[in-house]
Structure 1
Amino acid sequence: MSTIIEVNKLRKEFRSYSSRQGLKGAFRDLLNRQSKIVPAVNDVTFSVKQGEMVGYIGENGAGKSTSIKMLTGILTPTSGEILVNGMNPHKEREKFVRTIGVVFGQRSQLWWDIAVQESFRLLKKVYKVSDADYNEHMDHVIKTLDIGPLLDKPVRKLSLGQRMRCELAAALIHNPPLLFLDEPTIGLDVLVKLKIRQFLKEMNEKYKTTILLTTHDLSDIEALCERVVMLDEGKVIYDGALEKLRSHWGDGKQIQFQFSDEVYENELTALTNHLDVSWQKGEKLNVWTAVVSDKEAQMSELIGLVVGAHQIIDLTVAEISTEEVIRKIYEKGEAL
């Protein structure tokens, strides 16, 4: 299996300027402005093989989007080596962009005031796709993403979910072997997310399309990716199987309690302070989740204490979620 992405000690630095306070400080800044070098991506090394679907994850400011911009040729690295589809992205840009598809969740590649199908035709010309190839490939894409009724509408009249499905179709007009997705499901409802995930799975199975997915929605990662590359402060802190990460950090259970009356964290903490448990406030009213080690005696004691002290409407026990696993890793600062 050939290597599609090869990154070695990739680094991107930005110069950050600071301003002094007051009028006197402003005059001093005119003559001698203070600055410092900030590394956004710090010696990142990884590779991706053909047909892989890799989750590229990290907190805000970890360096994900900066990495993607260098991999797609938008930004020039400060140092390090990049080889994508056998090319240097920023040095062979015109030839390179014909071999990739890119979807940025907060940016559009479709023309705002013209019909979606006209944008598709323009992109078809840009990528020099033949009529036969376009019809054969795009008929399948349009049908699978269910965007046929949207083709004659201007992009500005589409909902966010409709536009994102059209954006994904536009990125695949030339059927690229490599697809970069940066927050492709941001702000979308559950049904649209499911449709996009199913479509990406089909593209991967049918064409062996390699996908690098950046997202804060870890359910996307769980549904699509067997491998994750995790960044923290511009550095790779984990590169490997998602299941291995879960097995190492996912030891324990989440017990969700729904109380009949309002309960405060200090009450729950005082009640269970002798147990190895942490409490998290749920999104719903009067719901708290206890994260506890997977020991039957400790779980039984926890449930007994809480039920004995408060009136419970509902109780559920589940495995540690991927979100909780990631939170634990970032608190510790390392993966394994």
Structure 2
Amino acid sequence: MLRYCDEYAADYRAYKGGPLCYEDGCLYRGLIALHEVTGEQRWVDHMVRLVNAQVAPDGTMAGYELEDFNIDNVLSGRALVWLAQRFDDPRYRKAADTLAEQLSRHPRVKEGPHWHKHRYPEQVWLDGLYMGLPFKLEYGLAFGRPDFVEEAADELLAGLALTYDASSRLYRHAYDSAKAQPWADPETGLSPAHWARAIGWAAMAMIDVVENLPAGEKRDAITARWQALAARLTELVTADGRWLQVPDMPEMGGNYAESSATAMLAYVYMKASRLGLGTDRDPGIAAFESLIKNAFETDVTGRRVLGRIVWVAGLGGFNGNYRDGTPGYYLTEAINPDDIKGVGPFMMGFAETL
């Protein structure tokens, strides 16, 4: 598995051809996790090679437009903060400062959290909780912005409250504060279904924020949210220990064990146990072992790849299609073996086993 991770990183090229994006940020998180547990320089070298191709010496980020107000673009900022604290290269701090400026100006719903993107107005998506809030916390701690630390905790708690569905004890993919989107329930503003990777994003946001958040009521409240979610998710595992693309509908034809969500949740269960947060490590170990046993495939070149990774899923119009957020919709999206949205969390989970 170390060889798989190393070869994957060595072959990796910017996911979108150059611009900094959240997919690259997933890889950077995996590389940081592997470096921190092994102490090996190769993981940092991979990251520096890739980041330096995306961030110019003056801190300009390739393809970045602040006023797109795209929360996805912020995830790679966590690598910038990490690098800025360890290398005497001003590009990392300058670029991180630009992302912090974006969050300072980024539109918010009236309940507090940021819009997902400028083109998705008044909407909070679970994905965005992970994309923006751990960066906001880590930037605040690293560079003397206590307001960012408090905001990260407040916005995470607000986002979780807005997307929680009490009947299922899970979190819906998104919330429309304006209750104007065709996919949104006109009374609750919630999207219609649960998507496993969205829940994985939210769970990773919880655990990565709690890891660095100072002790107090907000940390306790986020921990309690994770504990309740962990208890519910253990009721939804497949027979071999994974989670389904639509996690609470095992009876639905075509539903399948999805690898990115399984890797994310494996990572969170294991990390939460390591941090002493009162949840069991075993579901994470079982999920990770199941990925190794059941999800790896051999591609046409004979190379081993992590299979059953859904490429993308969202809500509203995209590329000429309307994504209505119904359970059936999530089963129509393409599967992309070895997609970084699965491999990055797999690396994070692997680091927790070492």
Q: What range is the shorter-chain TM-score in?
A: under 0.3
Higher relative contact order (CA 8 A, sep 6+): 1
Tell me which structure has the larger Cα radius of gyration.
1
Give the structure with the larger helix fraction: 2
With the length of structure 2 as denominator, give the TM-score of the two structures: 0.25
